[in-house]
Each structure stands twice: as structure tokens, then as C-alpha cells.
């Protein structure tokens, strides 16, 4: 039986090869990919990123797999053609729990230093695992998320956990109970798992886990297997799996005594090293025969696509208040790293829908704190086309009255403009919404000539 790209990284690579977008790279993987292929916001390139394999001793390094949103969506039969609350609800109705199976992999001596984890720039704190999906669970819930992990030594990783993430809550509960938290780090996972991991778990109903959502995206259940050294499931089809525990030990995000930069972040700027990060002590390392080691360079179209596809589902799942009936589609462009810029397509059916932007913007900013700018457009504008969105802004909005800004929001640390030194003294970070839609009563004045 042919493997589905949704459920297998190898099947996804094979499909990309049939599409003629797989390349063989040479030299340091991350450096070469960043110089030749990485797109917005890492560089000014607007083209889709190819899939590039780099020979390495432990396993081929794989970059660019998610560098084309159309390619990724084609792999996921369950991903909605348009992201709306109704489509998200229908997706949840298709959620299916994972099935347990045996894992075909070799258990290897624990030495994460042997992994071909890239160092992207000379300023980086060290070599990072960038596409490891961490999975953990306890009696109260589970976590499935991607975190940057600095390699500290043969069996130690420093894990950056954004405050408020589910993994942090599980870790805190374990420490409060006097226990360590068993985790698996799954590298080279199925595309359905990667996109599900990018969905905000706060918007999933009780009893529905992200792996269940991955099954809905794939149209079939995800396969898991028992861990070899820890009581935690691993993803059966992952290329490389680390097992270990998060305990009470912490460390600064640095290999020396000074904390400086971390690595390039999703918006294209260099990150700052964190302090007092939890340390993951690795107890097991397994790899499939002929394994691929998947990574990202930090910013770029690839990471923006993953965050954007997961983010659009998160926004659709959160849509329960006034104004949501008019939402036709949602899109996070790569120019915002898949997180800080959101385009909302509205299908107006009456003059009452003219109020939708003013109703929706506060809800979006409250529920999704990384969103800084929302642009509302009509259905004749393609939300995935930056030129089309800018055309709507340039011709269908009067920014003096159609751009509303609210203040007193928590800053997004990765955004330079939200640094206190950048803002006027005493001001708080703002969030803005642009209404680039045609008033319902004036539709006859703004029809596209060639439509």
C-alpha cells in the first residue's frame, strides 16, 4: 500500500520529487540553504522554497519541505479549502485518535552531538535541533509542539518554551508533584503532525488532542509506538526519535558563561538567548534506516507556512463571537512570519456586515496575542496574494478612518518595533486593523473591471 504524504515524511519527499522540486545541496546545510533558497522573511526572495537534501554522516539533512503552502495543502486531504469556523468545526468532527503500532528503528548509543543539527550563523549560541516535535502527557492532558533546542552535550539539550505553552504547564505540574516529565522528541514527522503541532491547543475542545487533529488533517489515524526508555509515546514514522526527561535542572541558552544571541527567529531577526531554560536529559536515541534529519534555518517561507497553516486553523477554531458569520477565509502571510500579520476575507451579505471588521478585530487581538496587524478584504481579493491585498488597501481604504489602532497590549519580544526604545516614551505596543472592504451599499462603485 502506498504511503500517504500526510502520514509520512518520506512519502511527502517522494511526492516533491515527482513534482521536480527536490535538490541535492552541498556544503554546510543551513548556510547554503539560507544563501541560495530561503525566502521571505529570511531574505527578499518571494518564490517558493525547494526541498533540499544535504549529505551528512549520521543522516541526510532535509530543508525546505514546507517551503510552499500549496504543496503542503495538497498533502493534507483534511485541511479546509477555506478556513472558517464552520470548516474548523467540521474538521474537529473528523478527529481520530492515533493507533499504536511497532516502530521500525535502531536504538543507538545516546550522543545528540552526532546529529547533523545545523548552526545557521556565527552568532548562534551553538547547534540547534529546530524541527523536533516534543510530545508529553499526564493525567490532565498532553502537549505536542516544536521548540528550539540547543545541544549542550551528548545527552543534554536546553529547551526554549514560550510562556503559556502546554509543554510548560505539563512540566510545572510534574515538578510540583516531585517528578520529572518524560518526553519524546520526534524529528522528521508526518506533515499532518507538524501542522497539528502548530495549532494552539487552547482552542481544541476537551478530550481532543493534537494527534487526533492530525488524524483529521490526514484523513487517517497517526501511528504511535511505545517509547524504548521512557513511558511516553513516540511517533512511529518519525525519522529520528530522542527520549528523555525534563527535570528541575535549568541552564542559560549559551555554551559559555555569557548569554548572547540564540539563533535566527521566525520574523527574520536574530534571537536573544534565554535564561533558566529547562534541560532535557536524553535517555534514548533511535533512527530509521536511511533516516533524514529535518531542520529549518529559523526564518523563511518554510517556517512561515507551518506557523501560518496552523495559525489559520487556530483563528478559525477561536471564532465564536459577533461578526464571525461573515468570515470567508483566513491567511497568515510569510511577510509576518506566519504569525503577526493576518488577512481576513469577508463575504458581506447585508449592510450589517460592514460592522464585521470593528467587531472582529478586538476578538482577534485578545485571543491571538502575536497578531499585530489585521487586514480585512472582500472575497474578490486573494488573501494569499500580497499584491492583491495591497491593491485592496491602496484603493478600498481611507487609512485616516479605516485603520483602527488599539494600545495597551503586551509586547511581542521578537518584533523590533515593540522594543521600548523604539516606541514613544510611555506608550504601549499597538495593534492595528485595516478595513479594506467595500461598503455593502457601494458595491457597484468598486467592481473589478475584468471580473
> What is the CATH classification number for the domain harbouring 422?
3.40.1670.10
Considering the domain architecture, whether residues 312 and 285 belong to the same structural domain is answered as no
User: Of 284, 290, 186, nearest to 237 (Cα)?
Assistant: 186
Considering the domain architecture, whether residues 267 and 320 belong to the same structural domain is answered as no
Considering the domain architecture, whether residues 236 and 319 belong to the same structural domain is answered as no
Q: What span, in angstroms and rounded, lies between the C-alpha atoms of 223 and 126?
A: 33
Number of domains present in the structure of the chain = 2
219 part of a folded domain: yes
Q: What span, in angstroms and rounded, lies between the C-alpha atoms of 49 and 19?
A: 13
55 part of a folded domain: no
Residue 160, domain extent: 97-291
132 part of a folded domain: yes
User: Of 256, 327, 265, nearest to 85 (Cα)?
Assistant: 327
216 part of a folded domain: yes
Contacts of 177 by beta carbon, 8 Å cutoff, 6+ apart = none
| Of 291, 316, 331, the domain-final residue | 291
- Residue 2's pLDDT is 65
pLDDT along the chain (451 residues), means of 10: 88 98 96 96 95 96 98 99 98 98 94 97 95 97 97 98 92 98 99 99 97 99 98 98 99 86 93 95 98 96 98 98 97 98 99 98 97 98 98 98 93 91 81 98 94 80
Q: What span, in angstroms and rounded, lies between the C-alpha atoms of 63 and 16?
A: 12
> 49: which DSSP letter?
P
| Of 291, 316, 348, the domain-final residue | 291
CA distances from 70 to 49, 74, 84, 302, 439 (A): 11, 6, 18, 12, 31
105 part of a folded domain: yes
Q: What span, in angstroms and rounded, lies between the C-alpha atoms of 298 and 144?
A: 19
Considering the domain architecture, whether residues 134 and 187 belong to the same structural domain is answered as yes
- Residues paired with residue 309 on neighbouring β-strands, in sequence order: none
Q: What span, in angstroms and rounded, lies between the C-alpha atoms of 366 and 373?
A: 13
pTM over 0.85: yes
Considering the domain architecture, whether residues 254 and 391 belong to the same structural domain is answered as no
CATH number, residue 112: 2.30.110.10
Q: What span, in angstroms and rounded, lies between the C-alpha atoms of 118 and 32?
A: 11
Considering the domain architecture, whether residues 117 and 253 belong to the same structural domain is answered as yes
Considering the domain architecture, whether residues 271 and 383 belong to the same structural domain is answered as no
Contacts of 191 by beta carbon, 8 Å cutoff, 6+ apart = 5, 6, 9, 12, 65, 66, 72, 75, 76
Alpha helices in 199-327 (DSSP H): 210-218, 301-318
Considering the domain architecture, whether residues 216 and 341 belong to the same structural domain is answered as no
| Of 224, 259, 291, the domain-final residue | 291
Are 132 and 147 in contact, with CB atoms under 8 Å apart?
A: yes
46 part of a folded domain: no
- Residue 258's pLDDT is 80
Q: What span, in angstroms and rounded, lies between the C-alpha atoms of 349 and 252?
A: 54
Considering the domain architecture, whether residues 274 and 346 belong to the same structural domain is answered as no
- Residue 154's pLDDT is 98
Considering the domain architecture, whether residues 240 and 362 belong to the same structural domain is answered as no
317 part of a folded domain: yes
54 part of a folded domain: no
Considering the domain architecture, whether residues 268 and 355 belong to the same structural domain is answered as no
Region of residue 14 (left: phi > 0; alpha: psi -120 to 50; beta: else): alpha
- Residue 429's pLDDT is 85
User: Of 63, 62, 83, 60, nearest to 73 (Cα)?
Assistant: 83
Considering the domain architecture, whether residues 347 and 377 belong to the same structural domain is answered as yes
Contacts of 54 by beta carbon, 8 Å cutoff, 6+ apart = 24, 25, 26, 27, 29, 32, 33, 60, 61, 62, 63, 116
Amino acid at each position: 500500500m502506498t504511503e500517504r504524504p500526510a502520514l509520512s515524511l518520506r512519502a511527502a519527499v517522494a511526492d516533491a520529487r515527482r513534482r521536480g522540486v527536490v535538490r541535492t545541496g552541498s556544503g554546510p546545510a543551513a548556510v547554503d540553504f539560507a544563501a541560495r533558497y530561503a525566502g521571505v522573511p529570511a531574505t527578499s526572495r518571494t518564490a517558493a522554497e525547494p526541498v533540499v537534501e544535504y549529505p551528512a554522516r549520521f543522516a541526510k539533512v532535509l530543508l525546505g519541505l514546507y517551503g510552499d503552502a500549496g504543496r503542503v495543502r495538497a498533502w493534507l486531504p483534511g485541511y479546509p479549502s477555506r478556513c472558517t469556523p464552520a470548516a474548523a468545526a467540521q474538521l474537529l468532527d473528523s478527529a481520530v485518535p492515533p493507533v499504536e503500532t511497532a516502530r521500525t528503528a535502531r536504538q543507538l548509543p545516546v550522543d545528540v552531538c552526532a546529529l547533523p543539527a545545523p548552526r545557521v550563523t556565527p552568532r548562534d549560541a551553538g547547534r540547534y535541533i529546530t524541527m523536533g516535535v516534543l510530545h508529553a502527557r499526564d493525567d490532565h492532558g498532553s502537549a505536542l509542539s516544536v521548540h528550539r533546542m540547543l545541544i549542550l552535550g551528548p545527552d543534554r539539550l536546553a529547551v526554549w518554551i514560550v510562556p503559556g505553552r502546554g509543554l510548560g504547564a505539563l512540566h510545572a505540574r510534574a515538578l510540583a508533584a516531585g517528578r520529572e516529565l518524560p518526553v519524546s522528541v520526534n524529528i522528521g514527522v508526518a506533515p499532518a503532525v507538524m501542522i497539528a503541532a502548530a495549532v494552539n491547543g487552547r482552542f481544541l475542545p476537551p478530550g481532543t488532542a493534537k494527534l487526533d487533529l492530525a488524524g483529521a488533517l490526514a484523513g487517517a489515524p497517526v501511528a504511535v509506538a511505545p517509547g524504548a526508555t521512557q513511558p511516553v509515546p513516540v511517533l512511529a514514522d518519525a525519522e529520528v526519535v530522542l527520549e528523555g526527561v525534563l527535570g528541575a535542572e535549568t541552564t542559560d541558552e549559551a555554551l559559555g558563561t555569557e548569554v548572547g544571541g540564540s539563533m535566527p527567529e521566525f520574523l527574520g531577526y536574530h534571537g536573544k538567548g534565554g535564561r533558566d531554560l529547562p534541560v532535557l536529559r536524553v535517555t534514548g536515541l533511535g533512527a530509521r534506516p536511511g533516516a533524514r534529519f529535518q531542520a529549518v534555518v529559523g526564518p523563511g517561507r518554510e517556517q512561515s507556512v507551518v506557523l501560518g497553516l496552523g495559525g489559520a486553523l487556530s483563528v478559525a477554531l477561536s471564532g465564536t463571537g459577533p461578526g464571525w458569520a461573515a468570515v470567508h477565509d483566513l491567511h497568515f502571510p510569510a511577510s509576518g512570519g506566519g504569525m503577526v500579520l493576518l488577512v481576513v476575507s469577508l463575504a458581506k451579505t447585508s449592510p450589517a456586515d460592514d460592522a464585521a471588521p470593528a467587531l472582529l478585530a478586538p476578538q482577534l487581538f485578545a485571543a491571538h496575542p502575536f497578531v499585530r496587524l489585521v487586514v480585512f478584504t472582500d472575497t474578490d481579493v486573494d488573501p494569499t496574494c500580497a499584491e492583491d491585498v495591497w491593491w485592496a488597501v491602496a484603493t478600498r481604504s481611507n487609512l485616516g478612518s479605516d485603520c483602527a489602532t488599539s494600545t495597551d497590549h503586551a509586547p511581542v519580544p521578537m518584533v523590533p518595533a515593540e522594543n521600548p526604545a523604539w516606541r514613544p516614551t510611555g506608550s504601549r505596543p499597538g495593534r492595528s486593523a485595516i478595513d479594506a472592504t467595500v461598503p455593502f451599499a457601494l458595491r457597484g462603485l468598486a467592481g473589478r473591471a475584468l471580473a
